[in-house]
Amino acid sequence: MFPIRDTIPSKNYPIVTHSLIAVNVLCFLIQLSQGADFERFAYVYGLVPARYTVPHIASYFTFGQQAFAFISFMFLHGGFMHILGNMWFLYIFGDNVEDRLGPFRYLIFYVLCGILSGLSHFFLNLHSNLPTIGASGAIAGVMGAYFILHPTSKILTLVPILIIPFFFEIPAFFFIGIWFIFQFISATSSHGDVSAIAWWAHIGGFVFGIILLKAFRAFPSTGLSDHFKHATEKKKSFSLQVIHPTGPLDDPNLYGTIFISPYEIQHGTKKLVNIPWGFQKRLYRVVVPPGIEPGSNLRLKNLGKIKPDGQRGDLLLKVVVGDR
């Protein structure tokens, strides 16, 4: 299963989430520039429990280096697939959490989740000499917060069956719940073994993400985030939308809804729509012309029911201004 997006649109541009992604990519490029010293770089700036528990190893590092590693480790990655997967999950789940916490509290929340995930790994692997790197623990904290904030949201998920891509909307509590169970099973089954993946950092990040969310929500916002809402307000709705067509039995046409923003009403837009109707082709491109009236219909020919003469009816998409 590969998540494409969630169905809860963020109201504001996720400036912190996108900045975190940019910083992670920049740090990865710095890693790549190390060439043959790539592993040494990861050992110095990654989280290595033995650096703190084995005296003759700890003596090689200053107090500043030891403290900084609990932050720097979450901005390093072991390869392209590692950073790609982490940044994609952050992109999907981070914007909604940032929306609810505001950019400043969200940044503090993210960093604390990363540090606490590192501590979780540290205390359960005290003598490991393997460097732990990656944003997975911090992102797990973001997923924990999302799990509490939007449990009934749907995650549009790509499930390839043979070579055919199928798209399903999976409830967030189920998607994230399965993810957490997998982390827990992997962590417990590797107990006592050396693992290249810090499973307990993922689990710790997730649990602390839930705890920190509740703590952050108990304190009122400082109001600083309100100043950014107008400047960061999103102008466009989702580019990929799932349409669930319906229609009367005696009507060959099908009917659905497409959501667009006021900005897109004025300037027009293009959308990809996924129409899970039988086994026909699933992805279609829809052009919304500028100046279209809300409530009017866009006609997609031959996407309706099969008529008695063998021809197909049409799919009519009602244009609705709103979030989806």
pTM greater than 0.95? no
Say what the alpha-carbon torsion angle 157, 312, 319, 170 is, to the nearest 10 degrees: -20
Q: How confident is the model at residue 140 (pLDDT cuts 50, 70, 90)?
A: very high
Q: How far is CA 197 from CA 74, 188, 191, 202, 255, in A?
A: 13, 12, 12, 9, 47
pLDDT (tens digit per residue) in 224-242: 666 666 667 777 877 888 8
Q: How confident is the model at residue 198 (pLDDT cuts 50, 70, 90)?
A: confident
Q: What is the mean pLDDT of residues 234-255?
A: 85
Lowest pLDDT segment from 67-81, 161-175, 296-310:
161-175
* Domains assigned to the chain: 2-229 (1.20.1540.10), 240-321 (2.60.260.20)
Pairing relationship of beta strands 269-274 and 240-242 according to DSSP bridges: parallel
Taking the C-alpha atoms of residue 256 and residue 314, their distance in angstroms, rounded to an integer, is 11
Average pLDDT, the chain: 88
Helix%, strand%, coil% for the chain, nearest 5: 50, 20, 35
pLDDT (tens digit per residue) in 286-319: 999 999 999 999 999 988 888 888 888 999 999 9
How many helices (H) and strands (E) in the chain? 12, 9
Q: Quickly tell me which residue has 């790197």 as its tokens.
A: 133
Say what the alpha-carbon torsion angle 94, 97, 101, 104 is, to the nearest 10 degrees: 0
Q: Quickly tell me which residue has 């993922």 as its tokens.
A: 202
- Residue 173 class from Cβ within 10 Å (0-12 exposed, 13-18 middle, 19+ buried)? middle
pLDDT over 60 (residue 174)? yes
106 Cβ neighbours under 8 A, 6+ residues apart: 16, 17, 94, 97, 98
Q: How confident is the model at residue 13 (pLDDT cuts 50, 70, 90)?
A: confident
Most confident of 140-149, 192-201, 264-273, 278-287: 140-149
Taking the C-alpha atoms of residue 264 and residue 267, their distance in angstroms, rounded to an integer, is 5
